[in-house]
Amino acid sequence: MKHKADRRIVVLVSTLALLLLAGCASVPNQPFTAYVEREKIHLKVAVNITDELRKVKTDKWNIPIGISIATNTPVFARHVFDDVVDISNGQLPPNETVGAILTPKIVYTARTEGATGGGESILDIKVEWTLSDTNGNTIWVNTIDGRNNATNGTGSKEVSRKALEDLLLKSQQAISSAPAIKQFVQKQSP
């Protein structure tokens, strides 16, 4: 009798662990679109999504955050800039001209876990945004931090979504207000 009870406990714990792992490996499916309304920057940019970016996952929780950043960056750029061209690994399409190239790179990602079930869990994502001219000269570079604090019981999809939203809204503010970008755009205007 005790053997059957032990087996049930093992099956229950295994099932719960699989459900937890499945939930941890998820990211939001739909791109974030609730940006602050601002005047767009009058510049045609190429959004450069790299294979390296797409492969990034959080260490312990195996959240494919790189795919989420890769999915969100073109939508993000269209809220910040007038005209956007999507490129992969720095390859501009033939006969395409742009004023600058925006490349995101995840430089840090971590999720902590509280000591108890109701303890605080934190997901932290840092993205380095580089805006370069077409010759590869850096116009502007900044590392932006997105973070979400939640209890351990909060699902990974929700934690990831809120950290990503925080990152994207801060990035919009940083790019929109960057003096170096404003100066570059002024030099491009006839």
What confidence tens digit (pLDDT) does each residue in 57-89 have? 766 666 788 899 999 999 999 999 999 999 999
The distance from CA 180 to its chain's CA centroid, rounded to whole angstroms, is: 23
Q: Report the distance separating Cα 39 and Cα 157, nearest Å.
A: 31
Residue 160 pLDDT > 50 = yes
Residue 13 pLDDT > 60 = no
In degrees and rounded to multiples of 5, residue 125 shows phi and psi of -130, 130
**Cβ atoms of residues 151 and 121 within 8 Å:** yes
Residue type, 96: E
Confidence bin at 157 (pLDDT 50/70/90):
confident
Task: Identify the weakest region by mean pLDDT among 44-58, 120-134, 141-155, 166-180.
Answer: 141-155
Question: Which one has a higher pLDDT value, 3 or 80?
Answer: 80
- Top-ranked range on mean pLDDT: pick from 1-5, 32-36, 41-45: 41-45
The predicted pLDDT at position 151 comes to 64
Residues 58, 63, 69: CA angle, nearest 5 degrees: 90
Residue type, 119: G
Please give the structure tokens belonging to residue 177: 């207000």
pLDDT digits (tens, 9 = 90+) for 95-140: 899 999 999 999 998 777 766 666 777 888 999 999 999 999 999 9
Tell me the sheet residues that pair with 79: none
The length of the chain in residues reads 190
Residue 43 pLDDT > 60 = yes
Per domain, the residue ranges of the chain are 38-188
Residue 8 pLDDT > 50 = no
Instruction: List the one residue out of 173, 174, 52, 165 whose CA is nearest residue 103.
Output: 52
- Residues contacting residue 115 through CB under 8 Å, at least 6 positions apart: none
**Cβ atoms of residues 170 and 137 within 8 Å:** no
CATH class of 38-188: alpha beta
Question: Which one has a higher pLDDT value, 190 or 180?
Answer: 180
